[in-house]
Amino acid sequence: MDKLVIRGGNPLVGTIRVSGAKNAALPAMAAALLTEDPVILENVPQVRDIVTERNLLAAMGAEVELGYGRAQHRTTISCRNLINAEASYDLVKTMRASTLVLGPLVARMKTARVSLPGGCAIGARPIDLHLKGLEKLGARISQEHGYIEARADRLTGARIVFEKITVTGTEDLLMAATLAEGETVLENCAREPEVVDLAALLVKMGARIEGAGTPTIRVQGVHKLHGARHRIIPDRIEAGTFIVAAALTGGDLTIAGCDPQHVAALLSKLEECGIHAAVDADSVRIVGGGPLKAADIVTEEYPGFPTDMQAQYMVLATQAEGTSLITENIFENRFMHGQELVRMGANIKIEGSRAVVRGRTALSGAAVQASDLRASASLVIAALVADGETIIDRVYHIDRGYERIEEKLRGVGAQIRRIGQLIPKRIAAAVEAE
């Protein structure tokens, strides 16, 4: 298994470019299931979760063509001849967003068989709201041998009120509703930019959608969707990760190719901590190194402070003067990075859904272990700040969602390198599967 070796203390200086948003690319790829025509997606990040989704679609009979050279971030997906409307356990267990194929498959193929995801490192993550919504649209749902089966000759429009705001749930039902008969009204929807981006793609494909980005989305079902070309929005969580890294390492970093509006909650929190960002149309410049003041955060749905930035913010809190209270409202078990940060010298007490961080404490390099995607990003930031060398194990978590992170950071002055396969692949795969 690969490890990252990071020597802390270097300021980050220069320009770092943000990739396309993984969480927008995943539903966009699933949307290709809704049509027989090719869907061409630009700015698709080259990360592990995208490879998993490609494999998932290919196993169903989709033809997936990758661009090369300058077009390496282009993916063309053609779902003309789907042979198998199934998402297997092997794929769903490695990426829970695989459940995004459920809605499009029932809508287009009249049937879908998708493995139940089960637990994961950051909590239970059920998909009950996806299923209730599909039932409202007229699908018959059954469960057998760990798989969900959904069937419907044609889905029919309905009014669906989400009991809880869910990002992929909103996306799944939005896709299903595009081909349903009549009108669907989705209420209490997620307002994340990734939902808006998916709706933009679906509209290009011929769907009739109003209200994406607001709590109520209206969809007038159509008989058929056609192909489209679409550019995926920039990754706001990758941008946010670099913004926090810049604030802490005391350099002068421009985070380019991002949408500053999508990181507004983070920037206003950083302002409270004493870090001012210079914002342009598609970039954010951070000059770090000044004193930081503690500030509390509560994770919320968009446009609130994102749960996917909570771990990175925790590192910042360790470097701020005073006590920061971090409340995690979205997932129940998302503080695993806290214990690793304590091993690096942080003062963090975790009580249920709250973490109390007392700063400022010096961090020192240590051997640490990544537990999930965003937790690994927080360990990278901590390592960039820490005194001495940090070795981060299980970096396959970070490869799920960050494209060439070590190359990007090395390009702006970080001392970071990857040490590869220390044990034979066969054994590593067995260990990863545990």
Size of the site for ligand UD1 (CB under 6 A): 21
Residue 26 engages ligand UD1 in binding (rule: CB under 6 A): yes
Pick the stretch among 166-174, 176-184, 310-318, 335-343 that binds ligand UD1 (CB under 6 A): 166-174
Report, in Å, the least distance between residue 305 CB and ligand UD1: 11
Closer Cβ to ligand UD1, 292 or 379, answer by number: 379
Question: Which two three-digit tokens encode residue 283?
Answer: 């970039």
- Token pair of 152, please? 């419907």
d(CA 181, CA 154): 7
Tell which positions 187-206 bind ligand UD1, by CB under 6 A.
194
Helix orientation angle between 264-273 and 236-249, rounded to the nearest 10 degrees = 20
CA distance linking residue 396 with residue 372, whole number of Å? 9
Considering only 61-69, 159-167, 175-183, 378-386, which stretch makes contact with ligand UD1 by CB under 6 A? 159-167
The CA-atom distances, in angstroms, between 116 and each of 22, 57, 84, 431 are: 22, 17, 17, 23
In angstroms, give the least distance from the CB of 373 to ligand UD1. 8
Q: Which residue has the tokens 């299903």?
A: 176
- Residue with smaller CB distance to ligand UD1, 125 or 231: 125
Is 126 a binding residue for ligand UD1 by CB under 6 A? The answer is yes
CB-based contact 103:172 (threshold 8 Å): yes
In the block, tokens 């993984």 appear at 22
Does 173 engage in binding with ligand UD1 (CB under 6 A)? no
Rounded Cα distance, 60 and 402, in Å: 26
CA 328/CA 310 separation, integer angstroms: 8
- Euclidean distance between CA atoms 178 and 208, whole angstroms: 7
C-alpha distances in angstroms, 93 versus 56, 114, 242, 358? 12, 11, 29, 36
Q: Is 189 a catalytic residue?
A: no
Among the listed residues 308, 340, 372, 403, the single contact to ligand UD1 using CB under 6 A: 308
For ligand UD1, which residue of 16, 158, 167, 409 counts as binding (CB under 6 A)? 167
- In the complex, minimum distance from the CB of residue 97 to ligand UD1, in angstroms, rounded to a whole number: 4
Would you count residue 159 as binding ligand UD1 (CB under 6 A)? Answer: no
Q: Which position among 79, 120, 189, 258 bears the catalytic label?
A: 120
3-state secondary structure of 187: strand
Q: Which is nearer to ligand UD1, 308 or 399 (CB)?
A: 308
52, 254, 283, 307: which one binds ligand UD1 (CB under 6 A): 307
- Active site (catalytic) residues: 120
Q: Which residues bind ligand UD1 (CB under 6 A)?
A: 23, 26, 96-97, 124-130, 164, 166-169, 194, 307-308, 330-331
